[in-house]
């Protein structure tokens, strides 16, 4: 399993990976930060970006904060880093 730090900006005009943010990534989601909608949107975006199922992603830290940590099941940390290497 691998972990990734994510800085989330909810309520954006579009959902996208904005690029690298420190050791993690920054994402913008159109969903509002209410009732877990933004968290679900981030997990779906991560799944699409990494080419995995959303069920493999688990939010383990920062449920109500902009800075979150997700656990990615089924891939190793080195594989995750390789997939993120192309992001600016």
Give per-residue pLDDT as tens, 18-45. Answer: 999 988 999 999 999 999 999 999 999 9
**Strands of 57-61's sheet, edge to edge?**
16-21, 24-28, 2-9, 67-72, 57-61
Tell me the average pLDDT across 58-72: 96
Q: What is the pLDDT at residue 48?
A: 94
Sequence-separated (6 or more) residues with CB below 8 Å from residue 48: none
CATH of the domain at 17: 3.30.1200.10
Which structural domain, as residue segments, surrounds residue 76? 2-84
pLDDT value at 87 more than 80: no
Q: What is the pLDDT at residue 88?
A: 61
Helix (H, G, I), strand (E, B) or coil at 53: coil
Q: How many domains does the chain have?
A: 1
């Amino acid at each position: 399993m691998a972990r990734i730090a994510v800085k989330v900006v909810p309520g954006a005009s579009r959902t996208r990976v904005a690029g690298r943010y420190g050791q993690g990534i920054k994402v913008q989601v159109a969903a509002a930060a209410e009732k877990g909608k933004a968290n679900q949107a981030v997990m779906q975006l991560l799944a699409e970006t990494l080419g995995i199922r959303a069920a493999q992603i688990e939010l383990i830290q920062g449920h109500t904060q902009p800075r979150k940590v997700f656990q990615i099941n089924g891939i190793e940390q080195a594989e995750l880093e390789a997939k993120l290497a192309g992001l600016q």
